[in-house]
Structure 1
Amino acid sequence: MVRGRSGRMIEGFVRGLLRLFLRGILAGLGGVRAYGLEHVPEAGPLILAPNHVSHLDPILIGVLVRRPVWFLATDELFTIPVLGTLSRYLRAFPIRQDSPDRKALRRAEELLRQGEALVVFPEGHESLDGKLKPLQGGAILLARRTGACIVPVGIRGSERVLPPREWRPRHGG
């Protein structure tokens, strides 16, 4: 993305506008309830580890969690022109799914060592049937290497609003 102080200011402004826009969309889809946000530390290295049942899940986390978060996201997302650009503005960076991605893991470690919050979907991809899939070891590896706290996150119902493999939301879910 953009480098330098003015570039970071522009990114922050765009990110803020996107968050406001996404909050409006969520409100229009029937509203969202979040419980347990008080368990998310306000500072320090943090890994949020949610289940993944919908393309909506990262948006929910990005809008509902009070502190800024980074996302590890499948590299496939960044091949889609508009979504790739928006994802970068929303602090996502790609990770290859087919093999260990040392570059992405180094970046994740660096962010955690700087005290940032990182969202890692431990299942790797979204679940097509809503059931928890086998967990990958990335979140645990990152926590062990950096001392980051892991906060498990449960998401329920987002698949009714935006079902897996669909891009058009259903109003009211």
Structure 2
Amino acid sequence: MAKITDETKKQVIADYLTGKFSQRDLVKKYNISLGTANKLTKDLAPENERYVEAEVTMIAARQTLPNEQMNAIMNAAKDEAYNRGLIFNATQKNLVKITEMLNKNTKHEKVGVGDGVQNFEPVELNANDYKALQDAIDKASLTLGVNPRTAQTLIQNTNAQQTKIQITRREIGASDE
């Protein structure tokens, strides 16, 4: 077998990430050894499988829906992607500001006020400040997908809390009659 090119390596990995190709499928498609396929895909998960499914859905929709509905779907999707991008970017900027606030040194800040300069003493953060910052970080982690949570988890936790445990007391040596 010939030496595999960088472009072929990228294509093998891209195909594997779709979740639609096994290592053996890749061996046949690209004429590579099973060892090469294994090496290239080691520790990879089919993380693009959901995009394949989304594209299948869109292809089916294009075949069945009128153009006006498809245009409306695409415009709504573009708007949603744009809005998510805004939230993502704003959240990242907010995290930078929070980090700066937490890392701020204790030097005096000078702020220009009219004709003069006024010194401001740094104020130590209190417990409420730290809680507000932690809440902001938590919300940011959800927005950025770093700390995903689902309603299913909340439902499971709620169900677990509602489970009642019954404890009965028995005397030692008492029979179970």
Larger radius of gyration: 2
Q: Which has more helix, going by share of residues?
A: 2
Flag whether TM exceeds 0.5 (same fold): no
**TM-score between both structures, scaled by the size of structure 1:** 0.24
Q: Which has more strand, going by share of residues?
A: 1
**TM-score between both structures, scaled by the size of structure 2:** 0.23
